[in-house]
Amino acid sequence: MTVNTHAHAPLPTHTKASSSPSTTEALTISKGTTKIKISTGTLLTFPLPLLSPFDTLTHLDLSNNPSLSHLPASIARLHKLKIAFFSSCAFTTFPAALSQCRSLEMVAFKSNGMVSIPEHAFPRKLRWLILTDNRLQELPKSIGLCAGLQKCMLAGNRLRGLPGEMSRCRKLGLLRLSGNQLGEVPEWVWGLPELSFLSWAGNPCLVGGGGSGGGNGSGNGSGGDETVLEDIAWEDLEIQHVLGEGASGVISKGIWKRSSSPSPSPDQAKTPDVDLPVAVKVFKGALTSDGSPL
């Protein structure tokens, strides 16, 4: 079931609230509520009434509350919670209380100014971890205990390395590392059996080809390829119809008009002098889950 509410009425099963903090704290949550979203921008603390549907709530979204910075230990009562979003809040430390939510699989703390993550703060069933646009310099070694981790979004932080224990995350299929301070991409990354998407542009390891993975931000796992990708001028692209749109940008089908492109420099990859079909992504903002478009 789903709840929509705006102010003073009890919340049904799928709740969206646009009320003041005092009103939110006074809300009565209906029995059987499965999803709650409160993105009013006015929450100062976690409203304890949100714990009432502890045996049914699966989705909690408190994003866009810039004064919200802590969670109560009692959030562990939400034993069926699978999705928790706290993006654009003020959590400078990842709340360890979430590790006790035994069903939690998807967590987002994008754009929080987060600087630290305690050891063993991650829930063991974690599958998606979204920490884009924070100030993290390191990850806890205990991330290696998240055996089911599939998607890990870390772009736009200050990471200088990845813990070796993360190599145990054998289900990892997507890893976004762009816009950090990585001196290298660890060798174990190339051995992850299910990894199908890796981004690491905008790291020191790409300056002068230093570190594993070469110099182009999208390697094939060889660790020693320093081929420089060819620059493409915007006027050499013919943009056609839109293929899809996501939170970070719009992707369109295009044609790279190779016949009108100048010859590449000697250190750039050479491709046949024929027009090629391409996908062109136009970013919406300065920093996305893909990193910086600059």
Q: Give pTM, 2 decimals.
A: 0.76
- Retrieve residue 149's tokens: 């981790």
Q: List the domain boundaries for the chain.
A: 14-209, 234-283
**pLDDT band at residue 81 under the 50/70/90 scheme:** very high
**pLDDT band at residue 267 under the 50/70/90 scheme:** low
CB within 8 Å of 161: residues ≥ 6 apart: 138, 182, 183, 184, 186
pLDDT for position 181: 97
The per-residue pLDDT of the chain, averaged, comes to: 83
Percent of the chain at pLDDT > 70 equals 74
pLDDT for position 286: 66
Average pLDDT over residues 128-151: 98
Name the least confident of 64-73, 105-114, 244-253.
Answer: 244-253
Q: Are 43 and 70 in contact (CB under 8 A)?
A: no
Average pLDDT over residues 100-127: 98
The CATH code for residues 14-209 is: 3.80.10.10
The whole-angstrom separation of Cα 74 and Cα 72 is 5
Q: In 3-state terms, what secondary structure has residue 129? A: strand
pLDDT for position 127: 98
Indicate whether 19 pLDDT > 80.
no
Indicate whether 21 pLDDT > 60.
no
**pLDDT band at residue 30 under the 50/70/90 scheme:** confident
pLDDT for position 148: 98
